Structure 1
Amino acid sequence: MTRFRWSRVAWLLALLLCAAGHAQAGVMTRDDLRKAFPPPLSVGEIDPQLPVWPIFKQDVTSPILAGYVFESIDFAPIPGFSGTPLNLLIALDPKGSFLDVRVLSHHEPVFLEGLGEAPLFRFADQYKGLSLQQNIKIGSNANRGEERGSANVYIDGVAKATASVRILNQSLLASALRVARAKLGFAGGQDPDQIARVRRDTYAPMEWGTLRQAGLVQHLTITQGMVEKAFEDSGVELPVAGHADDVFSDLYVAYLNAPSVGRNLLSEAGWQHLLGRIDEGDHALLVIASGPYSFVGDKFVRGAVPDRLTLKQGDLPLELRDLDLDDPLTLPASLRGADAKVFRVIGPAGLDPSHALNFALRVTREKGMVYPERISRSFAMPYVLPADQVMLPESDDKGWQGIWRSRAWELGVLAAALALLAVVLARPKWIVATPSRLARFRTGYLVFTLVFIGWFAQGQLSIVNITALVQALVAGRDLAFFLHDPMTVALWAFVAATLVVWGRGTFCGWLCPFGAMQELVAQLTRLAGIRRIKLHRDLDARLKWIKYGVLAVIVGLAAVSPSWTDSAVEVEPFKTAITLGFVRSWPFVAWAAGLLLLNVFLYKGFCRYLCPLGAGLGLLGRVRLLRWIPRRSECGTPCQTCRHRCEYQAIKPNGAIVYEECFQCLDCVAIHDSPQRCAPLIAKGRARTIAIRPLPVWAGSEA
C-alpha cells in the first residue's frame, strides 16, 4: 500500500514538473508567425541557437532583414502577480526598435474579469516604435508632445494594476535585451541595470593641471607623423604639412558626471544646468580638440552625432550626441579657442563608468580622381575614470528597486501605522480603559485600512498571493516577482511576524480592507437598528470548517492548473470591492454586494465561514507563541459574559479562546479589565462594599 501511494506521488510530481517545463516554452509556430506578419513580410527559419525567428521584407532584388521575432517566456519567464509568467510576442528591428509587442497569454488577476484585457493590450501597444536605446519609463506621459525618438519616453501605466504592468515591462525589456545582445550586438552582454554608478561625494576644488594629474582629464596627441604612418600602405598620398612631430590633433576627454570634474570645469550655474539636461543614468562627456584636425567635421550641426569621433566599450558601440551646451568652461589659456563639445550617452545604452571608454578619432582620405575611394584610419584614445570616483553595483537584483523608491512615502505611512498597531496590541490597557476610547480607535483604524491600505495603496492581501507562491514553487521559478508590489511585501512581513506572536487576528481584525469594509457597514446598520442573527455554537463551529475546504481546493488547483485557479480565486470579493472599487461586470459585483448584505445579518459571514485566506492564516497562526488574551478562573465557570458578547463566537463555553477564529477586536480584553462590565470583578467589588457594623444602642436599653 505504501509503495502504491509513493508511486502515485512520484507520478504526480513528474506530471507537475513536465507541466511546469512546458509552461516556460514558447507556443508560436512558423505558421502562426506567418499569420501574425503577413506579406510583404516573410518569416525565416528559426535560429538553431536561440528560439528567435528572422523576419524579412522583399527588396527589389532580394529579401533584406527586417528584424527578429520571439516570445518573452523563452528568455525571461518572470512570474506575474499570479505567479505565472506573462508571454509576449516581441518583434525587434535590426536597430533595436520594437516593431510589435503583443500579449499572447497571461494570468494577471486584475485583468481577468476585472479591468478586462483591453487596458493590458493598450499598454503593450505603446512600445511599438520605441527603442531599447531609450529610457522607457512608466508613468504619466510627460513628454507626450515630444518625438518618440527622444532619449527618454514615458508610457501610460494602468491604474490598479501597477505591479502587473511593471512585471510586463521587465519581461519585455529583459527578453528583448537578451535577443539584442545575441543578435544585434547590443550592450555587449552588459546589463544596464547592473553597471557602476558615479559617486556624488568626491568633490574637491582642483585646477586643470591637478585634474590631469588625478587622471580625471586624459590627453592624446596625434602627430603628423603618426597619421602618415597609418596611411603609408593605403596608397593615399597625404599632403605635405610640416614636420612629422607637428601636432595633427590634440584631444582631451573628461567625464563630467563626476563632481570633481564637472563642478571644477563648469561654474556652479553651469553644473546645475548640466544636471538638469541629463536624466538619471545618462552620461555627459567633455571632448576638447586643438590643432589642425578636430573631431568636429565641416558638416557637423549642433545636437548631432559627430562623424569623426566614435566611442565603444568592449564590443558595445555607444552613440555620442551633442548636448548643445553653451555654458563657459574653466580651461587653460592654450585651449580657450579649441573645439569643445559636451556629448551625452543615454543610460539604456549600457555604458559602465568603471570600465575603459575607448574613444577613436577617425581620419578619412580619398584615393583616386573620378570615383574616389574613401579610406579611413582610427586613432584610439582610451579613457579610464579613476576607481575612487565610482561605486560598483552591490547586488544582482534589478527591476524592483525603483518601485520601492517611488513608493517610499506610502511605505513610511504604512510603517508608522503598523508600529502604532503593534504598540496598541502589545499594551492594550490604555485603549481598552473605556468602551468609547476603544470604539473610536478601532473605527478610525478600520477607516485607515479601507481607504489608505485598500483603495489608495492597493495593499489588499489575497489568496492570490498564496496561489502565486504555490505555482512558482511547483514551476521552480524565482520568487522575486513579489518585490514588484512593495505594499504586499511589507504587509506580509508584518503579518508573518504577528502570526507568530498573536495569530490570525492581527490581519483579519485590523489590516484586511474588505474585513474593515464589512465591519464599518455593520456599524452603520447597527445604528439603523437592524438586528443580527447569531447562530447556535454547534452550527457555527461546523460552518467554520467550510473555509478550510475552500482553501484546500484552491491550493490544489494552483498546483495543477493556472486557468482553473484564476476562476477559483474569485470566491474572494477583494478584487471587486477593493482593487477595482466595484467597477466590474455584474456577477462579480453582485457576489461582493451579496457578501456585504450577508454581513449585515450574519456578522462577517464571509470572513468566518468562506475566506480561504483567513483559513490559511488560521493554519499558519497555530505557530502562535502567546495566549495573549487574559483569562480568570471564573471565565466560563460560571461567567459567560465574554462568550455572549463575542461577535465572532471564538470563545468556548468553558472560557477558552479559539485563537484560529479570533479577530483580535479587544472587546473581551476590555470586558476583562472593566470593573463595571466583568461579572467576577463586579462580584468582588460588591463583596468589598458590605461592611460589618455593630448594632446601634438605643437609649434606655440594657447594656
Structure 2
Amino acid sequence: MPARRASNLLRPALLALLALLLAVPLAAAGTLDRAGMERYFPAPLVVGERDATLPVWPILKQEAGSYEVFAYAFESIDLAPIPGFGGTPPDLLVALAPDGTFRDVRVVSHHEPVFLEGLGSEPLFAFVEQYVGMSARRPIRVGRPNARGSGAAPQTTVDGISMATASTRVINESILAASLAVARAKLGFGAANVGLKVEARPDPGEAPTVAELTARGWLRRLTVSNERAEAAFRDAGVAGAGDGPAAAPLIDLTFAYLNVPAIGRTLLGAERFAALTRELGPGDHAVMVVSHGPENPLGEDFVLGSIPDRLTVTQGGLAVNARDMAIERRGAAPALPDGAWTILRITGAAGFDPSAPWTLTTKLVRERGQIFPEKIAREFSADYALPADLFVREAAEAGPSWTDPWRARGVELGVIALALAGLVPVLARQRGLVADRRRFPMFRLAYLAFTLLFIGWSAQAQLSIVTLVGLVRAATVTHDLAFLLYDPPSLLLWAFVIATLFVWGRGTFCGWLCPFGALQEFVAWLAKPLRIRQVTVPPRLDRALRLAKYVVLAGILIAAATGSPLADSLSEAEPFKTAITLYFVRAWPFVAYAIGLLVLNLFVYKGFCRYLCPLGASLAVLGRLRLLDWIPRRAECGSPCQLCKVRCRYGAIGADGRIDYPECFQCMDCVTIIHDPGQCVPEVVARRRGRRIALQPVAAE
C-alpha cells in the first residue's frame, strides 16, 4: 500500500533525525568581543576590560580628567538565556547605568518567527528602544499596543506589539532578568524579597495606643530642623532652611506600616482599617505618611493616586514603587498630630518585605539662580523595622512573566476550552449529530467559522511547524521548553491535538481546528458559483505528491537540528503566518504565495494540506500511533459500493474501501453516509430486500 511504503521510507529518516537531535550540542552564548562592543559604543566612550567573573563590559566616559563608569554593557543571552518562540533565546545588548537606568537596549540576534520576514525587525527594534531611560529598579510590564498613550505609567510599562505578545514578553523577561543579575552584582540592589511571600499575621486581639506604637518604634517620625536643612545646602550656596528658629522643624513626618492589624486599627480605627484591607489587593502593602511641618513633601499640586515626587520607600537599595491610594483621608487616630497625609500602596509585584528593614526618604528642593534657575535637592531618611514575629513568611509562587498572558487571556482560554469540550461528544457519538445529514453540515460550517474567526484571527492560536522548530532548537540549544508557556491558546490547542492524535489521528486538527484549513474550505465554496471544476489528480501523481510534505518536514527539522538558519526559510512553506497571524499584511511575495494556495484550492481541493503542509505531515506520522480504526465500514464498502470513495474529497478512501487514516481529515462525510439509511447504498439495497446488515471494522491502510 502507498501509505505503508511511505511509512517504511520515513522510519529510517526519523531515526536519523533523532540521532542528530541527540548529537548536536549547540551552546547559547554572547557573540560580541571587544571590537563588537566598540562598534556599539564608539569614541568618546571607552570599552573597559571585561569582568573576570561576570560577562559584563564597563563602558567608560572621561569626566574632569578621569574615567568614570558610564554604563555596564552585557548580552542578555549570557545571563538570562530564556528561549523565545523560535526555541532559542533572543540576544539583547543592554547598557545599564550605575543608577540602574537603561542607557541603551539593542537587538543583537533573534529567531522570533513573527519578526522574521513577518512584521519585520523594525517593530522589534522600536520595542526595545522604549526601555531607554527606564529603571531596572522598577518592575516593567508589557502592556497592550499604545498602552502608554492610553494612560499606563511610562515608568513601568512598555507598549506591546499586536500579533507578537508571546515574543515581546520573552524579550521583556530576558532584559529584566539579565539586568537584575548585573544590578545585584555591580550596583548593589535588587536582592530584596526574591521568591518570598510575607504577610501580616492575623490580629491576636492587641489594641495598643498611639503612644505605645511610638514607644515600640512601630510608629516612626522623620524630623528635619531648619538648622539641619541649612547645613545640608551650605555647600551648594543656597539657603536651605525656612523661617523660624534653628531648632524648629522644617520637615516633620510621622509614618507607619498599616497592614499589621495592631497598627492599622489603632491609627485608622476598626471601620477604616477594614475598608483599607478590602481595597488592598492580594500581597499589597500600605504605608501611612502624615506631614506636620511647614514643608509638605506632598506639595500643593499633588494629585491623588499619583506617585509622590518627594517621598520614596527603599529597601535593600531598591526604590519601591509606592503610589498614593486616593482614598478617604478622614478617620485617623485623634492622638496623631494634624497635617496632610497619604496612604501609599506598594503592590505585591514590587518584592517588598515588610518584615525586613526599609527606609522612608523625603527630598527637599531649592533653586539657585534667577534667569535659568538650577534645582538643588537634598535627601533625608529614617529607617523603619518591625519584629519578624508579626509576619508569616512563606515561599511565594514563582510568578515569572509567562504567568501574565495566562491571566490576561483567561476569557479566550475559557471560550476555546468550551469549544473543544463541545467538539468531542459530537465526533465521538457517531449516531448523534454526525448521522443527521441536514444539521451536521450546518454545525460543521459554524465550527469552521469559529476556528477561522476566533481561534485564528482573534486568539492568534494557529498551530504551526514553527513550534516544532522551536522544540528541536530547545532540544539542541537551551533544553528549556518555557517558551511554549507564553502562548496559552496555542498550548491548549496543542494539548488537545496531541491527545486526539492517539484516538482519531491527524484529522481532528486538520479538519476542525486549523484556521488556514478552515479558510480553504470557505474559499472552496466559491468554486461552484464560479463554475470551476475540480481537477482529479491521477492516482500515481497523487501518491507521489503526498510524499512531498514529508520531504519538506524532514528538511525543516534537520535544518533546525543542525542550527541552520535555513529552518526559518523552509518554514515559510506554511502560509499560516501570512494568512492568519499577519492578516495578509506582509511583503508581496508571501501574500502572493498564500493567495496562490487559496486559488489552487479552487481547482485541487485542499492541495496544500494534502501535498505540502509540513505540520500536517508531522501529525500524520504521530497519528499512526492512534488506538482506534474509528470509521465504521461494511463488507460491501469498496466492493461493490464506491459511494464513500467518490464523495471523499481528500482521497483518503481506497478503491477497496479501506481508510488511509494519515490522509483522513475527519470531515465525517463517510460516517454520515454509512449511518444514513437513505444514503448508504448497501443499506438501501438491504432494506428493499427486507434484510438488515451490520457494520463491521475494516483494517486501515
For the criterion TM > 0.5, the same-fold answer is yes
Tell me, what secondary structure is at the counterpart of 1:209? Answer: coil
How far has the Cα of 1:142 moved from its partner? 4.3
Task: State how 1:78-89 maps to structure 2 within 5 Å.
Answer: 78-89=82-93
Instruction: Give the partner amino acid of 1:459.
Output: A
How far has the Cα of 1:379 moved from its partner? 7.9
Task: State how 1:277-426 maps to structure 2 within 5 Å.
Answer: 283-286=285-288, 300-302=297-299, 313=315, 315-318=316-319, 323=324, 327-328=328-329, 330-337=331-338, 342-343=343-344, 345=346, 349-353=350-354, 355-359=355-359, 381-384=384-387, 392-394=395-397, 396=398, 398-426=400-428
Structure 1 residues 640, 387: closer, same or farther in 2, change over 3 A? farther
Partner residue, 1:155: 158
CA distance in 2, matches of 1:185, 1:76: 19
Instruction: Give the partner amino acid of 2:449.
Output: V
In structure 1, runs of 5+ residues without a counterpart are: 1-7, 223-238, 242-248, 363-375, 691-703
Structure 1 residues 323, 105: closer, same or farther in 2, change over 3 A? same
Q: Pick one of 528, 548, 551 that aligns with 1:549.
A: 551
Partner residue, 1:520: 522
Instruction: Give the partner amino acid of 1:335.
Output: L
CA distance in 2, matches of 1:418, 1:126: 39
Q: Compare CA radii of gyration and give the structure with the larger one.
A: 1
1:494 and 2:496 equivalent? yes
How far has the Cα of 1:498 moved from its partner? 0.6
2:206, 2:262 within 8 Å by CA — same for their partners in 1?
Answer: no
Q: Pick one of 185, 188, 191 that aligns with 2:188.
A: 185
Q: Which moved more, 1:73-82 or 1:377-386?
A: 377-386
How far has the Cα of 1:204 moved from its partner? 7.9
CA distance in 2, matches of 1:158, 1:266: 47
How far has the Cα of 1:144 moved from its partner? 3.7
Partner residue, 1:231: none
CA distance in 1, matches of 2:117, 2:132: 26
1:139 and 2:112 equivalent? no
Tell me, what secondary structure is at the counterpart of 2:288? Answer: strand
Superposed CA deviations along residues 225-252 of structure 1, whole A, max 9, x for unmatched, are xxxxxxxxxxxxxx9x9xxxxxxx9976
CA distance in 1, matches of 2:381, 2:649: 83
Superposed CA deviations along residues 185-221 of structure 1, whole A, max 9, x for unmatched, are 1212654xx342658xx98897853999999x96368
Partner residue, 1:680: 682
Instruction: Give the partner amino acid of 1:168.
Output: I
Q: Which moved more, 1:621-630 or 1:482-491?
A: 621-630
1:78, 1:171 within 8 Å by CA — same for their partners in 2?
Answer: yes
1:203, 1:260 within 8 Å by CA — same for their partners in 2?
Answer: no
Task: Report the aligned-residue RMSD.
Answer: 4.1
Q: Pick one of 31, 35, 38 that aligns with 1:31.
A: 35
Partner residue, 1:124: 128
Partner residue, 1:246: none
2:610, 2:650 within 8 Å by CA — same for their partners in 1?
Answer: yes
Partner residue, 1:73: 77
How far has the Cα of 1:133 moved from its partner? 2.6
CA distance in 2, matches of 1:108, 1:407: 21
Q: Pick one of 106, 112, 118 that aligns with 1:114.
A: 118
CA distance in 2, matches of 1:431, 1:520: 21
Partner residue, 1:230: none
Partner residue, 2:10: none
1:98 and 2:102 equivalent? yes
How far has the Cα of 1:599 moved from its partner? 1.1
Instruction: Give the partner amino acid of 1:39.
Output: A
Superposed CA deviations along residues 106-151 of structure 1, whole A, max 9, x for unmatched, are 11111111111111111111111111233423224444488x9x68
Superposed CA deviations along residues 613-662 of structure 1, whole A, max 9, x for unmatched, are 10100111111111111111211222221111111111122212111111
TM-score by length of 2: 0.80
Partner residue, 1:56: 60
Q: Pick one of 474, 477, 481 that aligns with 1:475.
A: 477
CA distance in 2, matches of 1:562, 1:607: 26
Partner residue, 1:623: 625
TM-score by length of 1: 0.80
CA distance in 2, matches of 1:256, 1:143: 31
CA distance in 1, matches of 2:471, 2:122: 27
1:432, 1:666 within 8 Å by CA — same for their partners in 2?
Answer: yes
Instruction: Give the partner amino acid of 1:590.
Output: A
1:139, 1:157 within 8 Å by CA — same for their partners in 2?
Answer: yes
Superposed CA deviations along residues 437-488 of structure 1, whole A, max 9, x for unmatched, are 1221111111111111111111110001101001101114210111000111
Instruction: Report the count of equivalent residues.
Output: 629
Q: Pick one of 582, 585, 588 that aligns with 2:584.
A: 582
Tell me, what secondary structure is at the counterpart of 1:127? Answer: coil
1:69, 1:90 within 8 Å by CA — same for their partners in 2?
Answer: yes
How far has the Cα of 1:548 moved from its partner? 1.0
Instruction: Give the partner amino acid of 1:139.
Output: R
Partner residue, 1:209: 208
Q: Which moved more, 1:438-447 or 1:338-347?
A: 338-347
Tell me, what secondary structure is at the counterpart of 1:196? Answer: strand
Instruction: Give the partner amino acid of 1:63.
Output: Y
How far has the Cα of 1:98 moved from its partner? 0.8
2:210, 2:335 within 8 Å by CA — same for their partners in 1?
Answer: no
CA distance in 2, matches of 1:43, 1:494: 52
Tell me, what secondary structure is at the counterpart of 1:544? Answer: helix
In structure 2, runs of 5+ residues without a counterpart are: 1-15, 222-244, 363-378, 693-701
Q: Which moved more, 1:58-67 or 1:659-668?
A: 58-67
Q: Pick one of 534, 538, 541 that aligns with 1:539.
A: 541
Fraction of identical pairs, as percent: 46
Structure 1 residues 259, 142: closer, same or farther in 2, change over 3 A? farther
How far has the Cα of 1:431 moved from its partner? 2.0
How far has the Cα of 1:607 moved from its partner? 0.5
Tell me, what secondary structure is at the counterpart of 2:460? Answer: coil
